[in-house]
Amino acid sequence: MGRHSCCYKQKLRKGLWSPEEDEKLLRHITKYGHGCWSSVPKQAGLQRCGKSCRLRWINYLRPDLKRGTFSQEEENLIIELHAVLGNRWSQIAAQLPGRTDNEIKNLWNSCLKKKLRQRGIDPVTHKPLSEVEHGEDTSQLRTNSKDMASSELNINANNPKPGTSSVTPRGYQLEMEGSPTSKTVNSSDNNGNTTTNLMTSTTTASKGFFPDKFSTNSQPSDLVGHLPIHQLNYASNARLSSTSNPTPWFTQTTQAFDINSEFSSAAMSSFLPPLTASFLSAPIGYKPSVADSPSMASFTMNGSRYWETGASANNNSNSSSNSTELQSNSSFYDNNSSSWGLPDCSTPEKEAPLHLMESQAEDIKWSEYLNNPLLMAAALQNQTPQSLYNMDIKSETHFLTNNSSNSMWTHNQQQQQQEPLQNPNMCAAKDIHRLTAAYGHV
DNA sequence: AAACCCTGCAACCGCGTCTCT
DNA sequence: AAGAGACGCGGTTGCAGGGTT
């Protein structure tokens, strides 16, 4: 306990960094790269531990950092992402070029939480506070994200895993058609412990978790980077207008890509996963259409797997049914377009349309999908997750790619085959291994 | 002017995971 | 397979600076 092991060995400085230290570190890393962090302080002539150097570099010295206050768009995006990802600051930061997880975490704790509360939204659940308070009686809601994670997502009596912060904001569940209202997925970990993953049928999706900024007619932000799996619908087409200037997007590894060249606006508009989250994040006036139908394929970028819906109209039947379902709820969008923002405390009855959605669908938590592409695929294919977990890992690529029009995936596949060593995206294979291990198969 | 409070931010800490031996 | 070291993440702490009394 206490200080990091490397700090015991010698008397190391702690606390704020001096300009001289900064300069030393900056000069060293600029010249040699960081390599092994534990050796950096020695090589750079610093009386700091490697961990401290790393942190200083990441949070302050990195050249691609964007300093200064957060823009409104950034704040909006953080709120949206937090609703989906919970306190996964690093993942949230990955969507905000130039921002660090620490910065975002601080912003959240010091500012955004407060703002949401002032607007009557519970910052943990992103549900209206009134609803949360009411729901506390039934023990359905938790104010502690850790509780949420452990009790909702991963019930594992034999092998509890504290610290796995799979926060699932209640009320943001996926909607699937023709499925039971709850499921359990049993799996085993490497130790043979059985894990029961509950995909609970949940309560209401929440209206009003968006700050009022989203209910204005202002032009949506162009602030959407490479959002894993699900999130691109936040942007809607407008955010990725083909008329906008190409924007270089920096990943955490400082690789830039031109979002407009990587994704056509049409593709982006169809990036929407089937299920969802159009309703989570649709800007005003957004109505899901057939174009939103999901034929998912995936690609990897910087070690993360991303999922892409196909632009082709030849999607599978599930996708069309999903689209139909969404369309049938268009009144929902219409009726609620004025209440996407702040919960309108004066008209609490406006929650009603959400019941349309919750009543017909299986509710699977967003983060379940987020963390589990296999589950996502299962949803898309109307297969049981179990069956997918039991697939050989080699076939993982195939069930995602029944849409041959998806060049992105194809490209990445080829790239991975051709450049197994150079391509950082090879992490994807590792991720899949982790996934399958986590869900105990093979 | 001094004491107190509040806020935001930088940095620390502990822990889980990964990699290497 | 096991242990050690390195890395990365999220929660927490401590401090500086500004505002208020």
A150-161 tens-digit pLDDT: 333 333 333 333
Question: Can you give the distance from the CA of residue A434 to the C1' of nucleotide B16 in angstroms?
Answer: 14
- pLDDT-above-70 percentage for chain A: 27
- pLDDT-above-90 percentage for chain A: 1
Strand C atom within 7 Å of A15 CB: yes
Q: Residue A406 — pLDDT band, cuts 50, 70, 90?
A: very low
Burial of A405 (0-12, 13-18, 19+ CB in 10 A): middle
Residue A408, pLDDT score: 31
The residues, any chain, with a CB within 8 Å of residue A322's CB and separated by 6 or more, are A177, A274, A275, A293, A294
Strand B atom within 7 Å of A55 CB: yes
Q: How far apart are CA A244 and CA A299, in angstroms?
A: 24
Residue A438: pLDDT over 50: no
Q: Chain C positions under 7 Å from a protein CB?
A: 5-12, 15-16
Residue A14, pLDDT score: 87
Residue A90, pLDDT score: 86
Instruction: Please tell me whether residue A49 adopts helix, strand or coil conformation.
Output: coil
Highest mean pLDDT out of A74-78, A268-272, A390-394: A74-78
Residue A212, pLDDT score: 34
Higher local confidence (pLDDT), A331 or A71: A71
Q: How far apart are CA A404 and CA A416, in angstroms?
A: 18
Higher local confidence (pLDDT), A285 or A30: A30
Question: Which nt sits closest to A38, CA to C1'?
Answer: C6
Question: Which nt sits closest to A105, CA to C1'?
Answer: C10
Question: Can you give the distance from the CA of residue A349 to the C1' of nucleotide B6 in angstroms?
Answer: 38
C1' of nucleotide C8: residue with nearest CA: A90
Question: Which nt sits closest to A68, CA to C1'?
Answer: B9
The residues, any chain, with a CB within 8 Å of residue A410's CB and separated by 6 or more, are A401
Q: Residue A10 — pLDDT band, cuts 50, 70, 90?
A: low
Amino acid at A385: P
Instruction: Please compute the mean of the pLDDT values over residues A88-114 and round it to a whole number.
Output: 88
Residue A399: pLDDT over 70: no
Residue A134, pLDDT score: 65
- How is residue A152 annotated by DSSP? I
Residue with tokens 């709820």: A329
Residue A133, pLDDT score: 65
Residue A3: pLDDT over 50: no
Question: What's the CA angle centered on A126, arms A86 and A101, to 5 degrees?
Answer: 30
Residue A122: pLDDT over 60: yes
Higher local confidence (pLDDT), A278 or A5: A5
Within 10 A of A430 (CB to CB), how many other CB atoms are there? 10
Handedness of CA A64, A85, A136, A177 (dihedral sign): positive
Report whether A212 contacts A342 (CB < 8 A). Answer: yes
Higher local confidence (pLDDT), A380 or A81: A81
Q: Residue A169 — pLDDT band, cuts 50, 70, 90?
A: very low
Q: How far apart are CA A108 and CA A115, in angstroms?
A: 9
Strand B atom within 7 Å of A36 CB: no
Helix, strand, coil: what percent of chain A each, to 5?
45, 10, 45
Please, what is the average pLDDT of chain A?
48
* pLDDT tens per residue, range A351-396: 333 332 333 333 334 434 444 433 443 333 333 333 333 333 333 3
Handedness of CA A307, A66, A60, A107 (dihedral sign): negative
Residue A293, pLDDT score: 33
Amino acid at A115: K
Instruction: Please compute the mean of the pLDDT values over residues A10-38 and round it to a whole number.
Output: 86
Residue A107: pLDDT over 80: yes
C1' of nucleotide C13: residue with nearest CA: A15
Query: Whose CA is closest to A385, among A393, A377, A395?
Result: A377
Highest mean pLDDT out of A57-71, A121-135, A211-225, A280-294: A57-71
Residue A87, pLDDT score: 86
Q: What secondary structure, in 3-state letters, does A253-306 show?
A: CCCEEEHHHHCCHHHHHCCCCCCCCHHHHCCCCCCCCHHHCCCEEEEEECCEEE
- How is residue A241 annotated by DSSP? -
Handedness of CA A390, A394, A395, A399 (dihedral sign): positive
C1' of nucleotide B6: residue with nearest CA: A110
Residue A275: pLDDT over 50: no
* pLDDT tens per residue, range A309-342: 333 333 333 333 333 333 333 332 333 333 333 3
pTM score, two decimals? Answer: 0.45
Question: Which nt sits closest to A437, CA to C1'?
Answer: B17
User: Which helix or strand (DSSP H or E) is residue A248 part of?
Assistant: strand A248-250
Question: Which nt sits closest to A49, CA to C1'?
Answer: B12
